[in-house]
Amino acid sequence: MNKKEFDYVIVGAGIAGCSLAHFLSKYSQSVLLIDKNKDVAFGASGAAGAFLSPLLGKANKFKDLITKSLNFSMAFYKDNFQKEIINCGTCRIPKNQEDEDKFQTYIPYMDFEYEKYEHGYFFPIGTTVKPYELCRKLSNETEKLFDYEVKIIEKEEDYWIINDDLKVKNLFLTTGADVSLIEEKYLDIRAVWGQKIDVYTTTKIDINYHKECSLSKSSKENIVSIGATHNRFDNDEIDSSYNLKLKNINEMKHNEYTNNIIQNDIKELLEKANDIKTLNNVKVLDVKIGARASSVDYFPMIGKLVNSAKSFEKYPHLKNGFQIKNENLELIDNLYILNGVGGRGFVLSPYLAYNLVESIFNNKELEEEITNFRLFKRWAKKQK
């Protein structure tokens, strides 16, 4: 049977994959977006608070990355997806006096306008997006294949073969916390499970708030979103819905173990939300869970992957911390990732996707701190 061929295939239809689909489609009509779920934004992206908000703190490389990404993404969304965003500002409320004192030390390093408001500080740039609607629009020009699980990828000459069904020139993995398709051990991704709830309340919420949770205005009257929790599981949760291999998890019937966690998280979110604003006549309308993907150093990871076996064979001293220039390392041909965006996926993904696509088509150099080279080098030094 002849395999269907594509120039570009993206595995994973969250905000990272849909952003890549948007920018790749500017250069090629041969793009396919794949997901094991039934639609876009059915994983962590659909369970996200989907906030666009500044990172507060003193100057450092991570804050600089978030600031550049926020400026890029806000302009990008406003220019192209005005109906899919709600720009009503965000009030950041210190958790305690220590938090307030920290905020005061950050003032000289503020990158965005703000003013004192209620018990916190109001940032006009604060925005939420509509995850599903945005991901649909981003991938509107791209062919899609849903309910399709990629079980194996294999290299055959200059092509990647997916499940013996598809023949692909360039493969992009935007699979979030599940990196089982990649055998490189330096690609250390941690799953942080989050829960978001939509509630009905007669309390009027006109802006977004963030304290120990986020309370965000909805486009629908009397509906607010509250998120998100942070759960890390030490063991594989194969007997629960907190299982990276499951699909359409927010449409399945959860077992007792999962439901107990969900109910405890609902209670926690409502308590934290009421610490921001007293919510009257509350009724929980919707609950979503999903696993954010976080790297060991919290920076995202994009671009080609280093082939560790071939690099060690070529440069044995790498295991002793011997430094080799990035361009001399052996890479995995025609395989790219965009991952590790954590809880800031809707801030980071458009900026990262744009830069990755520009690096491929126009030789734009990627910043060292967001490439996979840094992770490989750090891991290689620890090998014996």
State whether 223 and 355 are in the same domain: no
CA-based radius of gyration for the chain? 21
pLDDT of residue 24: 98
In angstroms, rounded to a whole number, what is the distance separating the alpha carbons of residues 44 and 345?
9
CA angle 215, 216, 222 (to 5 degrees): 105
Residues 150, 181, 15, 288, CA torsion sign: positive
State whether 241 and 316 are in the same domain: no
Asked if residue 24 is part of any domain, the answer here is yes
pLDDT of residue 327: 87
In angstroms, rounded to a whole number, what is the distance separating the alpha carbons of residues 64 and 76?
18
* Residue located via tokens 């107990």: 260
Asked if residue 117 is part of any domain, the answer here is no
State whether 32 and 143 are in the same domain: yes
State whether 237 and 360 are in the same domain: no
Asked if residue 157 is part of any domain, the answer here is yes
Asked if residue 366 is part of any domain, the answer here is yes
State whether 376 and 327 are in the same domain: yes
Asked if residue 46 is part of any domain, the answer here is yes
CA 102 to chain centre: 27
Domain that holds residue 138: 1-50+130-188+296-384
* Residue located via tokens 């941690």: 190
pLDDT along the chain (384 residues), means of 10: 90 98 97 98 90 92 96 97 96 95 94 95 96 97 97 95 97 96 93 95 95 89 91 81 95 96 97 96 97 93 96 90 86 97 96 98 94 92 85
pLDDT of residue 218: 83
- Read off the CATH number of the domain in which 138 is found: 3.50.50.60
In this structure, are residues 72 and 19 in contact, taking their beta carbons and an 8 Å threshold?
no
pLDDT of residue 363: 95
State whether 248 and 380 are in the same domain: no
State whether 336 and 354 are in the same domain: yes
* Residue located via tokens 């927010």: 250
State whether 214 and 163 are in the same domain: no
Q: What is the value of pTM for the model shown?
A: 0.96
**Which of 231, 258, 290 lies at the terminal end of a domain, its last residue?**
290
pLDDT of residue 321: 75
Asked if residue 122 is part of any domain, the answer here is no
The structure tokens listed for 372 are 């996979």
* Spatial CA neighbour of 76 closest among 149, 13, 26, 8: 26
pLDDT of residue 320: 79
Asked if residue 318 is part of any domain, the answer here is yes
**Which of 238, 255, 290 lies at the terminal end of a domain, its last residue?**
290
State whether 155 and 39 are in the same domain: yes
State whether 364 and 381 are in the same domain: yes
Instruction: Work out how many domains the chain is built from and give that number.
Output: 2
State whether 37 and 140 are in the same domain: yes
Bridge partners (DSSP) of residue 225 are: 198, 216
State whether 198 and 246 are in the same domain: yes
pLDDT of residue 1: 57
**Which of 262, 290, 318 lies at the terminal end of a domain, its last residue?**
290
The structure tokens listed for 152 are 């194996």
Tell me whether residue 324 is exposed, middle or buried, using C-beta atoms within 10 angstroms of its C-beta: 0 to 12, 13 to 18, 19 or more.
Answer: middle
pLDDT of residue 188: 87
Asked if residue 230 is part of any domain, the answer here is yes
